[in-house]
Amino acid sequence: MPRGSHYGRIRKRPYTVEYHRLSAIVFKPLLQAKLGRYTITLDHLSEQHKNFELIETAKKIKVAKFHIKSQTLHIALIQDDCSASNKLYITCPCCQSKRQHLYAVKNAYACRECLGLHYATQAERPRDRLMRKIRNKRKKLWGNDWPEVLNMFALSHYWAKPKGIHWKTFYKAKEEIYHLERKYWPMVEIHLNKQFGHLKI
């Protein structure tokens, strides 16, 4: 194979599900707890990912201090007092952003962005691509100002023929859009089911 050729190379995308996730909720009881050593009782974590010391900063912010592979990692517990739920966030030891989840990697905890992970839902991108395609073809046929041109809930099948276009051309273009819309809808349904489960209304 010639040098630099990408033929046959398998690109592996890491998905977040392959990593062990640590949720902020795990730390919630610690907001009222005494300072000292604690162990997270999650079997899949390594000993070093489980054990930490609860400390407090000068500003009374609780911090979980981990030692993983001779690194010291600080995960601050930040409670959002503005929301009624008093949601708890944990900070990413790498970028300090407030997170709901961190991921255990070999020698650290880090947020999704820092790990450069992709959510499995990004596999749903074909759906967005198809949506864009449908919208563009609609705009080309009916024009940008057509009332429902961007509305994906409206089927274009009964939309009227614009002036200045031959019926034959119109039918051909419309038929093509119609097929794309029929392909689009099952994808949306799958997506909604994944997000919300099978809703019974």
Chain residues binding Zn ion by CB under 5 A are: 92, 94-95, 111, 114
Q: Which value, to the nearest 10 degrees, does the dihedral of the CA atoms of residues 151, 152, 156, 161 take?
A: 30
Nearer to Zn ion, 54 or 90 (CB): 90
The answer to whether residues 50 and 42 touch, using CB atoms and an 8 Å cutoff, is yes
Both structure tokens of 151: 């509305």
Min dist CB 102 to Zn ion, Å, is 8
Q: Which of 58, 60, 54 is nearest to 40 (CA)?
A: 54
Nearer to Zn ion, 114 or 149 (CB): 114
Min dist CB 98 to Zn ion, Å, is 10
Min dist CB 128 to Zn ion, Å, is 25
Rounded Cα distance between 77 and 62, Å, is 6
Nearer to Zn ion, 68 or 111 (CB): 111
- CB-nearest residue to Zn ion: 92
Nearer to Zn ion, 92 or 104 (CB): 92
Length of the chain: 201
Rounded Cα distance between 22 and 24, Å, is 7
Min dist CB 93 to Zn ion, Å, is 8
